[in-house]
Amino acid sequence: MERLIRPRRFAAFTALALVTLACVAQEVTAQRPPTPQSVLAAAKPSDWQALDPQDTLYLQLPAGRVIIALAPQFAPGYVANIKRLVRAGYFNGLAIVRVQDDFVAQWGDPDQHRSLGGAERSIPAEFIVAARDVPFTPLPDPDTYAPEVGFSDGFPAARDPKLGRVWLVHCYGMIGAARADDVDSGNGSELYAVIGQAPRQLDRNDALVGRVVEGMELLSALPRGSGPLGFYARPSERVPIVAARIAADVPPAERVPLEVLRTDTQTFAELVEAERDRRDAWYKVPAGRVGVCNVPLPARIAQKR
């Protein structure tokens, strides 16, 4: 009789143990901090914002399209001039002339012969703006280069509360306007994308005019130039620009309906915290802080609502 009862008792004990373990696992899972992936999965439709086609630049390369969100709130003169150049066809047929490892990819007129047409020859420096003019979502962690860092309208930014000034910062994927030594010598006809570690020493020394939202791999994976500062030594190495267009000038059926996560939402605040205190199974020592250039700025194809 004992031989018949023991298996039943063991089976009952095993079933009870499995139920207990399942309850414990559910409780542990419920107590785990959110991950960046879970935060984004729970985002509401209102947390996302469509790109403004009037301030979206399509840079067509042989390998595909790079989509750039322009930042007129930080560099209005530059952005307006870039639009003039684009609409005049200035960039069509020019080239990426410089790709410096861990630094930038730069494009423009390699021979400096193309006419600017009706565009301005120089733009007054637009390195900083008044803090009262723009929203700002601060990060809680200290920064090496600025009194305070955070995000403004979807762009990584820095702020000096005492001086009341805000500026964009050179994170991966940011777009800047090249210039000569004179701070007013740039005009947007030569642009660069940050493709390496954030060169924050450039902050407040160059006008940042936007950021790459899609197609960054088409710039960051380009062959590095062998000349000084990463310039291509031979014209045959240059990567041609097929065309540059403002999204508003492209037929709606040919646009990419991208939307970006707003940086002034509770969802974004939760995403920042999830990045600051990563406790995924892989992480054994959470950092407990995050740099402005290490916070992701997600983009996605617009969802039907």
pLDDT of residue 217: 98
Is the confidence at residue 10, as pLDDT, over 80?
no
pLDDT of residue 2: 46
Is the confidence at residue 3, as pLDDT, over 70?
no
pLDDT of residue 9: 54
Identify the CATH class of 52-256: mainly beta
Q: What is the pLDDT of residues 85-114, one digit of tens each?
A: 999 999 999 999 999 999 999 999 998 899
Looking at every residue in the chain, the average pLDDT score rounds to 91
Handedness of CA 144, 138, 153, 185 (dihedral sign): negative
Is the confidence at residue 38, as pLDDT, over 70?
yes
pLDDT of residue 112: 87
Is the confidence at residue 305, as pLDDT, over 70?
no
Average pLDDT over residues 135-150: 97
The answer to whether 95 and 191 are in contact (CB under 8 A) is: no
pLDDT of residue 22: 52
pLDDT of residue 172: 98
Average pLDDT over residues 161-179: 97
pLDDT of residue 32: 72
Handedness of CA 16, 19, 21, 23 (dihedral sign): negative
pLDDT of residue 28: 43
pLDDT of residue 7: 52
Tell me the domain boundaries of the chain: 1-31, 52-256
Residues 6+ apart with CB under 8 A from 243: 58, 60, 91, 92
CA angle 139, 143, 149 (to 5 degrees): 40
pLDDT of residue 280: 87
pLDDT of residue 182: 97
Average pLDDT over residues 265-294: 95
More confident position, 20 or 146: 146
CA–CA separation, 61 and 68 (whole Å): 13
**For 3-7, 223-227, 252-256, 295-299, which range has the lowest pLDDT when averaged over its residues?**
3-7
pLDDT of residue 208: 98
For the stretch 136-141, contacts whose Cβ atoms lie closer than 8 Å and that sit 24 or more positions apart, written own/partner, are 136/166, 137/263, 137/264, 137/268, 137/269, 139/272, 139/290, 139/292, 139/295, 140/276, 140/289, 141/276, 141/289, 141/290, 141/291
pLDDT of residue 16: 53
pLDDT over 70, % of the chain: 90
Q: What is the pLDDT of residues 220-273, one digit of tens each?
A: 999 999 999 999 999 999 999 999 999 999 999 999 999 999 999 999 999 999
